[in-house]
Amino acid sequence: MNSKPIYVTRPSLPPLEEFIPYLEKIWDGQQLTNDGPFHGQLEQALCEYLGVEHISLFTNGTIALITALQALNVSGEVITTPYTFVATSHSLLWNNITPVFIDIDPVTLNLDPAKIEAAITNNTCAIMPVHCYGNPCDTDAISKIAEQHKLKVIYDAAHAFGVQNSDGSILSHGDLSIISFHATKVFNTFEGGAIICPDAETKQHIDYLKNFGFSDELTVVAPGINGKMSEVNAAFGLLQLKYIDQAIARRKDIAQHYRNALQGVCGIDLVAESGQTRSNHSYFPILVNENYPINREALYNKLKQHNIYARRYFYPLISNLPMYYELASSRPENLPVANRAAEQILCLPIYPALENRELDSIIAIIRDV
Ligand code: T4K
């Protein structure tokens, strides 16, 4: 039994004293929000770090998703994955859009592009795939289908901070990508998020949308929302960026340690990486299959008895939740792979401050069942 609880994640925090000078600047300048200096600096710093052209900061990833759909005038039906955090499909309901769920690929657990075309109807307007756990979707296949059928693509890249494939940043794909800077993410600004945009004009429109639709003091160009990131969050993000490579490097070591120790354990499948040239190791998901001596629920509870709080991301499956299960696409027979993954998944603790002895104790419990 571990004396202190081990959670699925713990936020990375820089030394507190290093944040004080940023706060002093905010106190001196008295610009607390609404496109202040730290906001602009963080947008620029993130463009450089992530290797993207335009980024618009948001108060969180969910408002960024809702706004991205508004920015592209998406309506009708959107093809998406049920195997994700509820924010993905909730963003559709908040825009009066009908989610159309398709099944996932059994290896990557991302939306299966081979299932997209059969789900397209006259009402389909867009595809919303998720780079689940930061593993890139098959972006080539998705963009080919989208082009053929004139559909928009909005990637929910909430987990994909810093992830790259052979084309560069994974965030450059699709019409828009959104990312989350929530406390539980690889890069956090306490709460926060962003939309990655392809051009300055789109960014300008999104900047208006996140500020109630104001384009100047008197002109309102759209029914916008308040989605702005405050100066405290933006300043914190600038400081966090100084430590991000160190944090991802430690995550990589932990992931490698898990992989070495758990590969070959009968009944445990490790979710493979899917072609990224740079990973962020945001999660360490395992699938507990029928060859393991106990099922996923029993392993989850056993870890809990040892004060280890792994998480069942993503269970329950979204399509089985009350606000979605009556949709025709939610039928379990339409989504066998996703339903199975939701029953087997367990995300193990991974965060920079996780100690090696804690890691070894988690591994020992899983191996010794
Ligand atoms: N799309 C996808 C695919 C997403 O995964 C998410 C969010 C979004 C969109 C929406 O982005 P945001 O609007 O959130 O920016 C968490 C997060 O709240 C959520 O951001 C995240 N995905 C989701 C996968 O996980 P919970 O309810 O599981 O979090 P919670 O509070 O249980 O935290 C998990 C563990 O982390 C705790 O047991 C302890 C630790 N923790 C948590 C917080 C908040 C800390 O140590 N400190 C903290 O401040 O949803």
29-82 confidence digits (pLDDT tens): 999 999 999 999 999 999 999 999 999 999 999 999 999 999 999 999 999 999
- Give the pLDDT score at 274: 84
Give the position, in ligand 1's atom list, of the atom nearest the Cα of 182.
Answer: 15
Whole-number Å distance, alpha carbon 181 to ligand 1 midpoint, is 10
pLDDT digits (tens, 9 = 90+) for 163-208: 999 889 999 999 999 999 999 999 999 999 999 999 999 999 999 9
At residue 10, what is the residue type?
R
Q: How far apart are CA 140 and CA 138, in angstroms?
A: 6
Which residue's CA is the closest to the ligand 1 atom numbered 50? 184
Buried b (16+ CB within 10 A) or exposed e, 170-201: bbbbbbbbbbbbbeebbbbbbbbbbbbbbeee
Task: Please provide the average confidence, as pLDDT, over all residues in the chain.
Answer: 97
pLDDT digits (tens, 9 = 90+) for 125-175: 999 999 999 999 999 999 999 999 999 999 999 999 999 998 899 999 999
Mean per-residue pLDDT for 87-116?
98
Q: How far apart are CA 178 and CA 99, in angstroms?
A: 18
**What phi, psi does 221 have (nearest 5°)?**
-95, -10
Whole-number Å distance, alpha carbon 145 to ligand 1 midpoint, is 32
- Give the pLDDT score at 242: 98
Which residue's CA is the closest to the ligand 1 atom numbered 48? 183
Q: What is the DSSP string of 145-202?
A: HHHHHT-EEEEE-TT-TT-EETTEEGGGSSSEEEEE--TTSSS--SS-EEEEESSHHH
Q: How far apart are CA 230 and CA 63, in angstroms?
A: 14
Q: Which of 63, 184, 304 for mutating ligand 1's site (highest number of atoms within 8 Å of CB)?
A: 184
Q: Is the pLDDT of residue 115 over 70?
A: yes
Whole-number Å distance, alpha carbon 147 to ligand 1 midpoint, is 33
Whole-number Å distance, alpha carbon 177 to ligand 1 midpoint, is 19
Which residue's CA is the closest to the ligand 1 atom numbered 46? 10
Mean per-residue pLDDT for 106-128?
98
Whole-number Å distance, alpha carbon 85 to ligand 1 midpoint, is 9
Q: How far apart are CA 358 and CA 367, in angstroms?
A: 14
Mean per-residue pLDDT for 108-129?
98
Taking CA atoms, 248 is separated from 20, 30, 314, 352, in Å, by: 24, 34, 23, 8
Tracing tokens 């909730």 back to the chain, one arrives at 90
Q: Which residues line ligand 1 (CB under 6 A)?
A: 7-11, 60-62, 84-85, 87-88, 130, 156, 158-159, 180, 182-184, 193, 309, 313
pLDDT digits (tens, 9 = 90+) for 299-341: 999 999 999 999 999 999 999 999 999 999 999 999 999 999 9
Q: Is the pLDDT of residue 3 over 90?
A: no
Q: Is the pLDDT of residue 17 over 70?
A: yes
- Give the pLDDT score at 191: 98
Q: How far apart are CA 120 and CA 152, in angstroms?
A: 12
Whole-number Å distance, alpha carbon 325 to ligand 1 midpoint, is 24
Mean per-residue pLDDT for 87-92?
98
pLDDT digits (tens, 9 = 90+) for 293-302: 999 999 999 9
Which residue's CA is the closest to the ligand 1 atom numbered 38? 7
Residue 143, classed as helix, strand or coil, is: helix
